[in-house]
Amino acid sequence: MAALRVGTRAVEGRFQGNGNGGGGGGVAPSVRLLAANRDGKPRGSHSAAPGKLRRRGGPMPLWRVAVFASVALNVATLALLLHHYATSPPPPPQHHSHDDAAPAARISSGSAGAARTTASSMAPSTGKPAVTPDSVINLDHGDPTMFEAFWRETGDAAELVIPGWQTMSYFSDVTNVCWFLEPELDRQVRRLHRTVGNAAVDGYHVLVGTGSTQLFMAALYALAPDAAVAGQPVSVVSTAPYYSSYPAVTDFLRSGLFRWAGDADTFAGDSYIELVCSPNNPDGAIREAVLASRTGNGRAVHDLAYYWPQYTPITKRADHDIMLFTVSKSTGHAGTRIGWALVKDTAIARKMTKFVELNTIGVSKDSQMRAAKGGGWRAAKVLAAVSEGYERRPEQPKGTVTPPPPPPRLFDFGRRKMVERWSMLRAAAAASGIFSLPDETSGYCNFTNQTAATNPAFAWLRCDREDVEDCASFLRGHKILTRSGAQFGADPRYVRVSMLDRDDAFLIFVNRLASLG
């Protein structure tokens, strides 16, 4: 429906045109029934002053009076209706899940006419559509939509409300090395690591980045000048199978500071930056640095994106010089694009901050406040909600026998899901007879105070059929998208499979995999 705009004269019921032809103080041009001459007097045989009809050459026929009255009444009604649409506030926004089929329509006005929009067209994206048994199942990316189910059940525990006047300045804390880091995010990062016990925070600078990938690039920038020898780019290495993005990101800008040099196990130099991903992406193995520099020109960056209780036992408090983390794999909020680094050395922290400053002039405060708990705001508390789930004990009301339910606990949810999914995947691989997986490992978890199995975020799946040399291509022929082992510096008979997709996609995947034998 066209959203016409109605002026005050129309809604007052005066259908006599005005001299300037405008809407005169209304929200838009008036709806006019009669035109006017330049002198302001009505023109036309049927112009009328309020309260009476003008006659010429005898009385007006009754049928004309009836038609005129009907038209006037219809226009008045239309004017009042449109004025209501133009001046009434819009209805509150509706929140729709990804499978809502028929969202309600809204009326929207605009200078060029009307436009019909729906709530679904204005709602945030959900990333991927629902799947069917015939769908192509895309498990190439580690998109952590598995965690949606948990956050849907937490209610307003991590809801975000940011007033329009907040977060406008570039600066967050000019006294901090990382001057664009929101103080509350700093506090919640330290709080979460102390709660979980997976990384030391005392004596460390917290740096924020647009995901941990930006901080990985910042670390290369900060370390390369110190490690460079004779003006040659520093070699960047990692033990194979290594994260497939390491080579791509390192060489993307063809920097003269650093270059990708491949597998750390085969590297023979003494000047290097070693990337240590633990648990490792793609195979989930626990890693340590394999190189040791004799001259001190070798440095290590520890990528601990998956060192959380839902994926692996927390066996020690990591205390490396540079440690990278991200909310995408800790809480599942990949779209928030927040990562953080824990850095010991102040000079290195300053150089990494400078890289982010030159690259993006800081990091979105809105995203930071979603990841932390905003000072006095109602919401923005993703990390805080995780910590509170393990720190806060629900109080039992006096006089009651049944204890209250525990607060939502993210890592408990994540571990249950990962244990269930790995059990299903191992059963499917066995049923197929042509796929194999790494042996299950376990260890004592200091966070849960019990022995726990390792359940990586990715499956390192091998196709053992003799006639299949490229497992990714084989699975693609069966509508399963994975990432080839060749991209990780490994045998193409391997593929990396994301274990973090939604339940519907994962169930179709394991059923399809089991049938391929």
pLDDT of residue 30 exceeding 80, the answer is no
For helices 211-227 and 346-360, give the axis angle rounded to 10 degrees: 120
Name residues whose C-beta falls within 8 Å of residue 156's C-beta, 6 or more positions apart in sequence.
Answer: 378, 379
Q: What is the pLDDT of residues 266-283, one digit of tens each?
A: 999 999 999 999 999 999
> Phi-psi region for residue 251, left (φ > 0), alpha (ψ -120 to 50) or beta?
alpha
Q: What is the pLDDT of residues 480-493, one digit of tens each?
A: 999 999 999 999 99
Domains defined along the chain, listed by start? 183-386 (3.40.640.10)
Sign of CA dihedral 301, 280, 452, 421: positive
When pLDDT is averaged across residues 194-206 and rounded to a whole number, the result is: 98
How many residues does this entry show for the chain?
Answer: 517
Range picked from 48-57, 61-70, 258-267, 360-369 for highest mean pLDDT: 258-267
For residue 10, what pLDDT band results from cuts at 50, 70 and 90? very low
pLDDT at position 110 is 39
Angle at 449 (CA atoms; ends 444, 454), nearest 5 degrees: 40
Output the CA–CA distances (angstroms, integers) from residue 162 to 126, 447, 516, in the order listed.
Answer: 21, 33, 50
Nearest to 409 by CA among 306, 305, 279, 309: 309
Q: What is the pLDDT of residues 383-431, one digit of tens each?
A: 988 998 998 665 656 666 777 777 889 999 999 999 999 999 999 999 9
> Residue 206 in 3-state DSSP?
strand
pLDDT of residue 67 exceeding 50, the answer is no
pLDDT of residue 370 exceeding 70, the answer is yes
- Tell me which H or E stretch contains 263: strand 258-263
The distance from CA 70 to its chain's CA centroid, rounded to whole angstroms, is 56
pLDDT at position 227 is 63
Listed range (152-156, 243-247, 447-451) with the worst mean pLDDT: 152-156
Angle at 4 (CA atoms; ends 103, 28), nearest 5 degrees: 125
Q: What is the pLDDT of residues 308-343, one digit of tens each?
A: 999 999 999 999 999 999 999 999 999 999 999 999
Instruction: For residue 13, count other CB atoms closer than 10 A to its CB.
Output: 12
Q: Are strands 258-263 and 272-277 parallel, antiparallel or unpaired?
A: unpaired
Structure tokens at 204: 């460390």
Sign of CA dihedral 11, 15, 21, 24: negative
Check if the beta carbon of residue 6 is closer than 8 Å to that of residue 30.
yes
Percent of the chain with pLDDT over 90: 60
Q: What is the pLDDT of residues 77-130, one digit of tens each?
A: 434 433 443 333 333 333 333 333 333 333 233 333 434 344 444 556 666 778
pLDDT at position 5 is 38
Distance CA 77, CA 11 (A): 9
Check if the beta carbon of residue 273 is closer than 8 Å to that of residue 258.
yes
pTM: 0.75
- Tell me which H or E stretch contains 483: strand 483-484
Nearest to 185 by CA among 201, 198, 165: 201
Q: Are strands 322-326 and 298-303 parallel, antiparallel or unpaired?
A: parallel
pLDDT at position 474 is 98
Angle at 198 (CA atoms; ends 437, 353), nearest 5 degrees: 105
Mean pLDDT, the chain, integer: 79
Distance CA 94, CA 77 (A): 30
Listed range (58-72, 92-106, 171-185) with the worst mean pLDDT: 92-106
- Tell me which H or E stretch contains 300: strand 298-303
Check if the beta carbon of residue 285 is closer than 8 Å to that of residue 279.
yes
Distance CA 129, CA 280 (A): 29
For residue 381, what pLDDT band results from cuts at 50, 70 and 90? confident
Structure tokens at 66: 């009836």
Measured distance between the N- and C-terminal CA atoms of the chain, rounded to whole angstroms: 57
pLDDT at position 100 is 35
For residue 517, what pLDDT band results from cuts at 50, 70 and 90? confident
Sheet holding 458-463, edge to edge: 435-436, 458-463, 494-498, 483-484
For residue 158, what pLDDT band results from cuts at 50, 70 and 90? low
Check if the beta carbon of residue 193 is closer than 8 Å to that of residue 324.
no
pLDDT at position 126 is 65
Q: What is the pLDDT of residues 201-240, one digit of tens each?
A: 999 999 999 999 999 999 999 999 866 666 789 999 999 9
The distance from CA 283 to its chain's CA centroid, rounded to whole angstroms, is 25
pLDDT at position 418 is 98
